[in-house]
Structure 1
Amino acid sequence: MSRKNFAATLIMLVVGCGVFWLEIRKTNFQILIHQAITLNWWWLFVAFLSMFLSFFFEALVLKVLLRNRDDELHHWWNIIRIPWIQALFNAITPFSSGGQPAQIVALVQSGVEVGRGSSVLLMKFVIYQTIVLINFIIAMVFQFERIAQHFSGLAILIIGGFLIHIFTIGILLMVMFYYRLTRKLAIGIMKIIGLVVSSKKKERWTKNVLDKIDNFYQESLVLKQEKTKVFKASVLTFFQLLFYYLVVYFTLLALHVDHVNIVEVLIMQIMIVMITSIFPIPGGTGGAEYSFKALFSQYVSVPSTLILGMFIWRFITYYLGMFLGIIAVAFKPINERTQSRVRGGKINNEEPF
């Protein structure tokens, strides 16, 4: 791992510890320790297992999308390390922006051609965003009115997250189905931006934006042709998210909070995912913890129990991925077939991350 990424990881761990310290500093430590000792360890194990299953199904999505290609990945280590690397770089970059390029590097390390890797990850991204949005719409239909009534502050954040997802998918669909119009709109927007930045920056930014639009459109043509793969990947993504959402339910059971409704808990977790998506801080740190406390305080009346549950849930869904990502970066792929060139430039094989 490069020094820059190591520093970012360390900073996020320190920030996370700071957030938890602010939460527990007024808590009775003896009570907290007693509750930790008396956890239901079976349900805690199931919570960890659920997160590992989420990573496993995400790896299956990649395996399906790479199937029947010359550079298909066969060794499970080469496949499972990709979601772990994504989890690490999503966790240490604003708006999870580092996960996508880190996955491309990891795929190239395993012998996948960079253009094909970009295409597969693009399919994966579109499918993931679509399933998240579908889950959110279902959740809103069943629970949003009650959440808006009791948690008006969170309702605004939830709407913000929803609008961001709608905007993201809307842009992707415009490029896929209205390519020329999207290109013209992008050029027009960049002309307006050019009024407040130098012409050199405007030209560079315009080229980058248009290149991304062109590349995305070319990749979308592949996406439209492989409908069977897209369907299978969508089903697997649903299970990936389901096991991720279930972590909080099993965490509550580990805390002996067994009077919860599993459907309500799943819907609450879906809301948290939407809320954290609008926070630019890596991992949505601060926003995720606040959302957890606000949404699940109705089930957990004892403050120390709520804080312990928040710590367990956050560790499994956030910090566990960081630690697994560090392991994935440290150990290279099996039978590595590194591509020596990427779009005309060389990859640094010694320290790619």
Structure 2
Amino acid sequence: MRSVGINVLKNKQFNIILIFVISFGFIAYHFRTVDIAIVWEGLKHANIIWLLAGMFVMLLYWLLESLVLYRISRKVYTQQTILQSIKITMAGQFFNTITPFASGGQPGQLYMLAKNGMDVGVGSSVLLIKFIVYQAMLVVNSLIVLLFGHHYLLYGSIPKLSVLIITGFILNLMVIIALITVVKSKRIASFIVHILLKSVSFFIKKDKYGTLKNSADQKLHSFHLESNRMSFDVKLLLRCSVLTTWQLWLFFCIPYFVLQGVGVPHVDLFQVIAFHSFIIMFSSMIPIPGGSGGAELSFSLLFGLILEPATLVLCLFFWRFITYYTCILFGSISLFVKRKTAEG
């Protein structure tokens, strides 16, 4: 696992550099007229207790996601441990943050599940069910926030951004529909897999392609068998949905701790929750890893309505560090931790 982690980090160095360049480039350009001395003074007087509380909430966010993975995995693979689930979750956080549209998390997690002894087809069904639950709860809870907080989008230049936020909401809904279709329709899933296999058939020998196709069909069968079985486990889905809802609302609250940390008075908690939910919807449309640029822009536009420029710079930095850069930091550490034989 150590060598795998090193190779992954080397292959993703460009994406990580791109993330930092875009993020800090945006901050430097967008806030170029802000007095650095004022920002520095605000930084010196930041309340570390509130900021650490925000970091603690982020830790709870990761833990709840790990618990969801653990509960779903245990239904099909009893050897799965909570420690393994935490490591796999953090590795997924790392891959999600450094790949466009967070597309690298599931493949990375599937690899780790397979290394722990789980069948690839079964592991695929575990991760897909988990992802569907997450996306469904994200859409449901964001819809709740949108219904009760839509009036926050009616000020200044925000109506233009609201179109993109609602578009992001619709795209996330479409993703759920597409994933459920793949779970329920073996024909569609087989069609997609065979199209992908066909694209590599030109580069391998015919006998090897036949072996690969048979193996893929077997994994696809186990994938559909377990996916359908878990999709009818109402108790499991309900528990995971509740855990995911807690996870999301904790995440929505993180900017509140950041604002308190930099001394912003009279903060409206629900407004903060609404703004953060809108930011997530918008940044999910950005094809750059981590939604870099888009996340900073939407944060600046929304929270710029209630914050002074110098305070906004500090909040943007602390928010991005807690919710994003820590995923790279702790996620990369999880890739270097040696697998212990006692875990299995």
Q: TM-score, normalised by structure 1?
A: 0.82
Cα distance between partner residues in 2 of 1:169 and 1:138:
17
Confirm or deny that 1:171 pairs with 2:171.
no
Give the 3-state SS of the residue equivalent to 1:72 in structure 2: coil
Structure 2: give runs of 5+ residues left out of the alignment.
1-5, 204-208
The aligned residue for residue 33 of structure 2 is 26
The aligned residue for residue 168 of structure 2 is 161
Over aligned residue pairs, what C-alpha RMSD do you find? 2.9
Confirm or deny that 1:114 pairs with 2:134.
no
Residue 183 to residue 16, structure 1, CA distance change in 2 (3 Å): closer
Instruction: Name the one with the larger helix percent.
Output: 2
Cα distance between partner residues in 2 of 1:179 and 1:102:
24
- Count of paired positions: 321
Residue 232 to residue 184, structure 1, CA distance change in 2 (3 Å): closer
Moved more, 227-236 or 9-18: 9-18
Give the 3-state SS of the residue equivalent to 2:12 in structure 1: helix
The aligned residue for residue 62 of structure 2 is 55
Match among 148, 153, 160 for residue 147 of structure 1:
153
Q: Deviations over 1:256-301 (max 9, x none)?
A: 113121112111111111001111111000111111111112221x
Match among 304, 308, 323 for residue 317 of structure 1:
323
Cα distance between partner residues in 1 of 2:117 and 2:202:
37
Displacement of 1:46 after TM fit?
0.5
Cα distance between partner residues in 1 of 2:104 and 2:85:
18
Match among 232, 237, 242 for residue 249 of structure 2:
242
What does residue range 140-219 of structure 1 map to in structure 2 within 5 Å? 140-148=146-154, 150=156, 151-177=158-184, 217-219=224-226
Contact 1:59 1:79 in 2 (8 A): yes
Residue 179 to residue 68, structure 1, CA distance change in 2 (3 Å): closer
Cα distance between partner residues in 2 of 1:336 and 1:14:
41
Contact 1:110 1:333 in 2 (8 A): no
Residue 330 to residue 58, structure 1, CA distance change in 2 (3 Å): same
Residue 39 to residue 103, structure 1, CA distance change in 2 (3 Å): same
Moved more, 67-76 or 219-228: 67-76
What does residue range 273-352 of structure 1 map to in structure 2 within 5 Å? 273-300=280-307, 302-335=308-341
Structure 1: give runs of 5+ residues left out of the alignment.
191-196, 339-353
Give the 3-state SS of the residue equivalent to 1:257 in structure 2: coil
Cα distance between partner residues in 2 of 1:145 and 1:166:
22
Moved more, 150-159 or 7-16: 7-16
Displacement of 1:171 after TM fit?
1.5
Displacement of 1:122 after TM fit?
1.0
Confirm or deny that 1:10 pairs with 2:17.
yes
What does residue range 53-92 of structure 1 map to in structure 2 within 5 Å? 53-74=60-81, 76=83, 78-92=84-98
Displacement of 1:93 after TM fit?
0.8
Q: Deviations over 1:21-72 (max 9, x none)?
A: 2234332121111100101111111011111110011111111112254443
Contact 2:67 2:82 in 1 (8 A): no
Contact 1:85 1:329 in 2 (8 A): yes
Displacement of 1:214 after TM fit?
7.2
Moved more, 78-87 or 311-320: 78-87
